[in-house]
Amino acid sequence: MKMTYLIAAAAGLVLGGVIVTTETSAGPAESVKYRQTVMKANGAHLGAISMVVKGEVPYGAPHVVANAEALAESAKLIADAFKDKTGDAGPTAAKANIWTEWQSFTDKAKTLQAESAKLIEVAKKGDMTAIGEQVKAVGGACGGCHETFREKKS
Amino acid sequence: MVFFAVVASGAARAGDLVERGAYLAAAGGCVGCHTDVAGKGPAFAGGRALVTPMGTFYGPNITPDPVHGIGAWTEGEFLEALRHGIGRGGVNLYPAFPYPSFTGISDEDAKAIKAYLFSLPAVAKASKPHALRFPFNLRILIPVWNWVYFKAGPFKPDAARPPEWNRGAYLVEALGHCAECHTPRGVLGGLERGKAFSGTRDGPDGKAVPNITPDPETGIGKWSEADLTYFLETGIDPDGDVTGSAMGEVVKNETSRLRADDRRAVAAYLRALPPIAHRVDRKAK
């Protein structure tokens, strides 16, 4: 009986191991696609915020709050999404210095979290001019990282 | 009492001049090429590398240091550099210094820019010599290049156009020197004026530079005026993407610092350019 438990436990460990392995290793193509999708989501939220700020749509500050919340959450995924270096070749604009200057890269991702979190608070007060100013700071956080770590290929 | 009043107003005028010069220097983006940003060097003290097919240029020190900077330059010498690309002592400057654009800057604005630069702290840092390939390392050939490609002369407003368009033209063509990156160049580095602002695959540092004529498919014809002024202010394009690369720097140092009316003038001028269909394919999709 004890032997059966032992075998079951061992089998469980092996199986668990397999499952864990499956969870942690994305293929390079998926890895690149995932982080590009996360970044596109960030861009989409900032794009939506920008449409409100430009006055192209009438949704006002409440939509800036919601989009800024989504952006602040999504920005937390950046470090994880880029951790896996396997996908630094192929159709990607990610520069190799992301992984050699990892601390600086993740610091910049944290700057985006902080600036978008600040945008939530500013937007809750509803003053569109102040919102516009804080959106500039959010854009600056994006651009500051792109300047160092992104290279669009022609 | 009268004497003090005169001195005080004189100082105020000098202050105004420096302030105006600071704005114009920002609109001209001087800091970008004249600061070693990568090496975290002091502002305007030079050292930034500009990689081109002719070799690598290094922006020189333009702080008022009398030995390593331009502290010993007279106002006339400073103006001559902007107008004709001739440096102190008659030396021909390379057109990597965009005098073909800066020649359009008014004397009044040029003097204000000089006053601003001379108000900055002097930095005793030697300028790095350019590393150019033969035959581009021969300065003696620059007058030939000038003869073929360079047309000197201040910006002339077009009376048939509204003042906003003319202000935009001045900011884009002269001070902002946008064509230097956004217009394709021939083999000898001359701008192909017939293709003005239609972008190039071979921009500075080997990067592609987008078409900014109002062509709807390959340029920015689908951008509204608000899209354009907003981008110049924030770096955020209509898709929500934020520019990095060289334009990120231009937005940070230059276009975000313009007054809103000047940004609108830039947008008005760009949107009135003749549209040119020229696909640059800057994005890998």
Q: Is B183 helix (H, G, I), strand (E, B) or coil?
A: coil
Neighbours of A144 (CB within 10 A): 18
Question: What span, in angstroms and rounded, lies between the C-alpha atoms of B104 and B21?
Answer: 16
Q: Do B245 and A44 touch (CB under 8 A)?
A: no
Token digits of residue B27: 């609109």
| pLDDT recorded at residue B7 | 52
- For residue A152 the two structure tokens come to 């669009």
Give me the pLDDT at residue B197, please: 98
Residue A94's SS3 state is strand
Residue type, position A113, single letter: Q
Scanning A99-138 for CB atoms below 8 A from B yields 135-136
| Interatomic CA distance for residues B102 and B150, integer angstroms | 11
CB A142, CB A150: distance < 8 Å? no
- The dihedral sign for the CA sequence A61, A65, A70, A72: positive
ipTM topping 0.95: no
Strand B49-52 and strand B55-58: pairing?
A: antiparallel
For residue B125, which of B169, B179, B71 has the smallest C-alpha distance?
B71
Q: Are A76 and A70 in contact (CB under 8 A)?
A: no
Separation of alpha carbons B87 and B70, rounded Å: 10
**Residue-level pLDDT at A152:** 75
State whether residue B51 sits within 8 Å of chain A by CB. no
Residues of B in contact with A43 (CB under 8 A): 239-242
Closest partner CB to A152 (pick from B233, B239, B283) = B283
Q: Which residue has the tokens 């063509």?
A: B173
Spans in chain B with pLDDT lower than 70: 1-12, 282-285
Q: Which residues of B touch A48 (CB under 8 A)?
A: 240
Give the pTM: 0.88
The answer to whether the CB atoms of B235 and A143 lie below 8 A apart is yes
pLDDT in tens, chain A (154 residues): 455 555 555 555 444 444 444 445 667 888 899 999 999 999 999 999 999 999 999 999 999 999 999 999 999 999 999 998 776 556 888 998 999 999 999 999 999 999 999 999 999 999 999 999 999 999 999 999 999 999 875 4
Cα distance between residue B273 and residue B193, in whole Å: 12
pLDDT at residue A19, rounded to an integer: 45
Rounded to a whole number of angstroms, the distance from the CA of A123 to the nearest CA of chain B is 17
B284/A147 Cβ within 8 A: no
Task: Give tens-digit pLDDT for B181-213.
Answer: 999 999 888 999 999 999 999 888 888 999 999
d(CA A129, CA B88) in angstroms, rounded, equals 47
